[in-house]
Chain A
Amino acid sequence: MTGGGAAWLARRLVASVAIIFAVVTFVFILIHLAPGKPCGQVGGGEYVDRAVCDQLVKQFGLDKSIPEQYWLYLVALAHGNFGYSFSLHRPVRDAIADTIPFTLQLAGAALVLDFLLGLGLGIYQAVRVNRLPDVVLGNVTLFIYSLPTFWLALLLLLIFGEKLRWFPVGGPNDLIFCPAVDSLYCVADRFWHLVLPASTLGLVGAAGTARFQRAAMLEVATQDFVRTARAKGVPERRVVLRHQLRNALLSFITRFGLAFPFLLTGAVLIETIYAWPGMGRLAFDAILSRDYPLVTATALIASTLVVAGNLLADILLGIADPRLRVRADIGLVLAT
């Protein structure tokens, strides 16, 4: 990496930390200002004795002012302590450590499906532009893209889970045969349980990716270097995959960076509908039960993932497009 590139990366890292800090601060203040107490609702029942509630509030220091609580939180965070979850009765770190692998598995599987399928469809449509397959696929992808994610999830669950019984109705594994992923069979079982939730997230994403990719491919198709390649007699397959696709990947990489927020927010819904024990469901439950440390910690992790995803996308863009790399070297762009 050149000096300019390193400086750019350093600036981006500082900006990323500032963004994460701002998100955590914002979420911390917002959740504390929201009406309702942490012991307002418990699982299964509805009301907690007020004396018990007051004692909990005191025990966890929630009777202190918000700035005081915030300062204590930052001090604890600086020591690597995410705090204690009052709804789960366990350290926040443990709760997140238990759930984040599930979210990453779900988001990872959905991302793979999104980009493989989306990329393939986008290329296929661009090659057959304005012909029947392109028109049909265009309408189908638009239809899927416009579907609410939760509705698609419920539909797939009803058809393939309850009616046809091809796939499990929720949960990450077979509780009897595979309580832990400790064999090839259980790895397969995990994939088996991932099919519906990952498909729900991935299909909607793929529909969007396909539309973006088609447009990018068509834009590149009119460029001089593509016409030149064809004029030189380069085989069509090579023209599409080498010349056209490679240059159309820039929008694909940009979309990769944007996919992280979509996947993480989508995960909240999908994890709830499919009983997937991930961080999205954890965050949702934490908000409902006003579990302040857990809400703030999940926001911290989620914002870190989103910022890291975008940073990675920017780096990949720089690698993929030499023009951007040169401009980064002289410090003109990519600073945002």
Chain B
Amino acid sequence: MLRRSLPRLPVSVVLVVAVLALGGCERRGGCTGANCGTLINAAVAEPGTLLPPSSEDIVSNDIGEQLFLKLADVGMSENTLGDEDFQALLAQKWEWDGPLTLVFHLDPRARWQDGRPVTAADVEFTFNAYTDSAVASPYRPKLRRIASVTQRDSLTAVFRFRDRYPEMFYDAVYHMRILPAHLLRPVPRDQWKTAPFGRQPVGDGPYRFVRWQTAQSIELIADSTFFLGRPGIRRLIWRFTPNLQVAVQQVIADQADMREQLVTPENVERARAAKQLAVYPFRGSVFTYLCFNSRAGDDTTQPHPIFADREVRRALTMAVDRASLVKSALGDLGKVPPGPMSSLLGIWDPDIRQLPYDTAQAGRVLTFHGWRDHDGDGIRDKNGQPLAFHILVPTSSVLRRQYARLLQQQFGAIGVHVEIDELEPTVVNQRAATGKFDTVILSRQNDPSPSSGITQSWTRAESGGSNYCRYYSPEFEGLVDRAVTASTRDQARALWRRAMETINADAPGIFLYALENVAAVHKRVENVQLRPDSWAALLRTWRIPPDRLIDRDRVER
């Protein structure tokens, strides 16, 4: 009778309520000290491997910063000339032994996380691995001016260079993370990309690897015995999300603690409105440009019928109001680059001479060179050929697709017909690399030195490689060669300026925007320092004060 009088709730309802109640409960952990804390980073890509020479994607580099040390690293100034602004890491000190020999003395306190000491043999092994063609490291070309690395004794590594130049020290320390020879020597070099070590690395950095859950997260734990000082935050987690919007949403909903790039003005506004978040602007390392292919798309041995003509390229460049485009699309999150560079580079100077925005002049130049609207259809033509071309743009980038449409309008205003081809990034990359395009909107990421990036993308030394515009100017290349080998910073800067003015005048592309970064970080995190070339480089110095710890900071596992 009693059972009958009770309300009859379906078992499923009871279960759901119980599960929801249990799920809604919070757990309290026990850590209360100064070195507690958990930082969850909402990342938009998952690395393929954590073995440094085999990967150059951004997330694996961020995680690599915590696991594997360099000998030294650039400072907040991002100065890559000489060695005075560099910070010691694995190397306790260094000295020059003649003009071409650099000697590093390793910190004797440095240990691999399996307890073995870090030695000069590891440094020698690392250089040999990075420069071995079997490893196929993307960093290999950047080390071509280092002739050899040898060990003088267990704690002394000797670098010998092929020639003398201002960025010798930068090349010696920036591109390589030192690897544990005793763990990697048995692995055949041509199998490094797929080596299990890449998914379960043992490093010498401030954090130890804990776990990698495919398509979910990578977790690191602070090494309390780290020889350069115990990291301020105990646990770091990279949580992988499929796209930027989901990542931003997780930070705003307080389910992640930071996102290092918000990218769009809307995301910045949303982050500002979230009461638990602080936003941190810092210099960006990416710039975007419209690349004019100087070779014909269907036969790359022939000049392009439109863009081989320097004057046409210049006219098209003058027809684009880059400042207005940046303002409307990016607001404060972008700048017009004064050449092919991001604002990360020390050679950035808004006073570098550039082609003006002048549609009247653009029209006159085109008319003067025979591009007139002969048939009255609103499109200029010459010898029966209309002034018309395609812009290739990846579907993955909302911003670049938006820019393609804005450019289409602006070119249309001077009688140039543009069609937009939106394709998958993989296809865009393949067509760009093989020269099968008229124009393409590309983004590039700079490292702190202008030498490597500009040489790779804009000189004939790399033509057909990443010089997708097939730009060739003996004058520009001469200036770049001299800038790279200049003996003083002032000399280098002056030469880079002349090189930039030369390329701006030749207009192999239209340099559209350089992104400024804005990071969103939970307000409970203190001492947030974001180095522009690598936001995670100083992560070990961030901390969460004991009085600001929240549940996820305290939990012990």
Residues of A within 8 A of B (CB): 35-37, 40-52, 55-56, 59, 84, 87-90, 95, 98-99, 116, 157-158, 161-162, 165, 168-173, 175-177, 179, 184-185, 188-189, 191-192, 195, 271-275, 277-278, 281-282, 284-285, 288-290
- Min CB gap A217→B, angstroms: 21
- Chain A residues within 8 Å of B239, by CB: 171, 175, 275
Interface centre among B235, B237, B239, B246 (most CB of A within 10 A): B246
Q: Does B317 contact A (CB under 8 A)?
A: no
Decide: A175 near B250, CB < 8 A? Known: A36-B429, A89-B193, A99-B214.
no
> Which residues of chain B have C-beta atoms less than 8 A from A87's C-beta?
48
Q: Is residue B445 within 8 Å, beta carbon to beta carbon, of the partner chain?
A: yes
A51 to B138, CA, bound (A): 9
Chain A residues with CB under 8 A of B213: 98, 179, 277
Interface size on B, residues (CB 8 A): 71
Q: Are B242 and A281 in contact (CB under 8 A)?
A: yes
Whether the Cβ atoms of B243 and A272 lie closer than 8 Å is yes
In the complex, residue of chain A having the shortest beta-carbon distance to the beta carbon of B211: A179
- Contact of B19 with A188 in the complex, beta carbons under 8 Å: yes
Q: Are A288 and B424 in contact (CB under 8 A)?
A: yes
Contact status B253-A98, CB under 8 Å: no
A51 surroundings in chain B (CB, below 8 A) = 136
Does A90 contact B57, Cβ atoms closer than 8 Å?
Answer: no
| Listed stretches B39-47, B152-160, B295-303; interface member | B39-47
Nearest residue in A to B191 (C-beta to C-beta)? A59
Chain A proximity of B555: nearest CB distance (Å): 5
Q: Return the CB mask of B288-300 against A: 1 if under 8 Å, else 0.
A: 0000000000000
* B110-132, CB < 8 A from A: none
CA of A191 to CA of B23, assembled, Å: 8
| Residue B161 interfacial (CB < 8 Å) | no
Check B194 against A89 for contact (C-beta < 8 Å): yes
Question: Which residue on chain B has the smallest CB distance to residue A193?
Answer: B23
Residues of B within 8 A of A290 (CB): 426
A15 vs B146: C-alpha distance when bound (angstroms): 63
- The residue on A at minimum CB distance from B468 is A47
> In the bound complex, how far is the Cα of B242 from the Cα of A278, in angstroms?
12
- Contacts A44-B60, A99-B214, A176-B38 known; list 13 others, CB within 8 Å: A40-B426, A43-B45, A44-B45, A46-B443, A47-B433, A49-B141, A88-B214, A171-B250, A179-B219, A185-B25, A191-B23, A277-B216, A289-B426
Q: Are A36 and B430 in contact (CB under 8 A)?
A: yes
Taking CB atoms, residues of chain A closer than 8 Å to B254 are 165
Is B1 on the interface with A (CB-CB < 8 A)? Answer: no
Do residues B425 and A41 form an inter-chain contact, with CB atoms below 8 A? Answer: yes
Distance of B57 from chain A, by nearest CB (Å): 4
Contact A40 B219 (CB under 8 A): no
B59: interface (CB < 8 Å):
yes
> What's the Cα separation between A157 and B555 when bound, in Å?
27
In the complex, are the beta carbons of A282 and B48 less than 8 A apart? no
Q: Give complex CA distance A291, B498 in Å.
A: 44
B residues within 8 A CB of A99?
Answer: 214-215
